[in-house]
Amino acid sequence: MTRFLLAVVVSLAIADASAHAAIILGNTFDGNTGTEAEYLNGQVTAPNVYRAGVSRVGYSLLVGENELVVGDLRTQDGSIAGSTRYFEFIIEPTNDSVIDLESFTYVGNQNVDGEGVSGATKFALRSSLDLFREDIGVANLTGTTISLADPKFQNITTYIDFRLYIQSDTSGESQLTTYSLQEFAFNGSVTAIPEPSSMALLAIGGAGLAWRRRKSNKTLV
C-alpha cells in the first residue's frame, strides 16, 4: 500500500510541477530572422503547449539581425479596428492541459525614414477572446509589460490569438519606416490535468490509508 500511495503522490507532484510560472511562449530572435511571415527559430515554448508562434501580418517583411523587422507601418483609416498590420501570437494548450497567463512583455524600436515623418503612433495589444475589440493594458513603441491577470486569461483550454498592433496614424507616412520587435514573452503557467484514472487511484489510496489508520487505532485499543 505504501508503494501504491507513493506512486500516486509522485504522479500528482509531476502535474503540480508543470504549473509553476514560466515562459509560455517567447523569443529573443538570435541571428538572421529572414523574411518568412511566420517565425519559429529559437522559440521558447512551455511543455504541453503547441500551435504556438509569432507572425508578421500585413507589413512588408524585412531581414533582421537579432530582431524581427517589418516595414510599411501605414494604416488606411487610422484606427486599430481597421488595421490589417500586426504581430500575431497564437497559443494553444494540449488537450490534457490548461494555461493561466500572467503577463506579456516585449521590447522594440523604430527606424524613422526622413524628416517630418512621425512613424508609428498607435499601439495596442488585443486578443481573440473579444474578437480584438478592446485594448489589453497600454502598449507603446519601445516595449513594456502588460498584465494578463484578468480572469478571462485564466483556465485557457483552447487556442487564443493575440495581436500586437504597431502602426502610424495615416496612410501618408513613409513606407520605408521600419519597426523591430527585439524580444517578447508570454508568462504564466501550464497545468497538466490529471487523468481520471489518477484521480480514481488517489481516491482508492485515500480510502486505503483511512482503513489502515482505523485498523491501527483498533489494535492500540
Residue 10's pLDDT is: 36
Q: Is 218 among the domain residues?
A: no
d(CA 149, CA 53): 21
* Total tally of structural domains belonging to the chain: 1
Half-sphere exposure of 6 (CA within 13 A, CB side): 3
Cα(first)–Cα(last) distance of the chain, in Å? 23
Q: Is 177 among the domain residues?
A: yes
Torsion of CA 88, 90, 91, 95, to 10 degrees: 170
Amino acid at 40: L
- pTM for the complete prediction? 0.79
Q: Is 16 among the domain residues?
A: no
Q: Is 76 among the domain residues?
A: yes
CATH number, residue 86: 2.60.120
Specify the DSSP class assigned to residue 156.
B
Buried b (16+ CB within 10 A) or exposed e, 90-124: bbbbbeebbbbbbbbbbebeeebeeeeeebbebbb
Residue 214's pLDDT is: 57
Range of the domain at 141: 21-193
Q: Is 122 among the domain residues?
A: yes
Hey, which residues does 101 pair with through a beta bridge? 188
Instruction: Tell me the per-residue pLDDT of 44-67, one tens digit each, with 9 for 90 and over.
Output: 999 999 867 899 999 999 999 999
C-alpha pair distances (Å), 143 with each of 3, 5, 77: 51, 49, 24
Q: Is 172 among the domain residues?
A: yes
Taking only the tens of pLDDT, the chain with its 221 residues reads 444 333 333 344 444 444 567 999 999 999 999 999 999 999 999 999 986 789 999 999 999 999 999 998 877 666 787 788 999 999 999 989 999 999 999 999 999 876 656 788 889 999 999 999 999 999 999 999 999 999 999 999 999 999 999 988 766 666 778 999 999 999 999 999 876 654 444 445 555 545 455 555 554 45
Q: Is 138 among the domain residues?
A: yes
Q: Is 133 among the domain residues?
A: yes
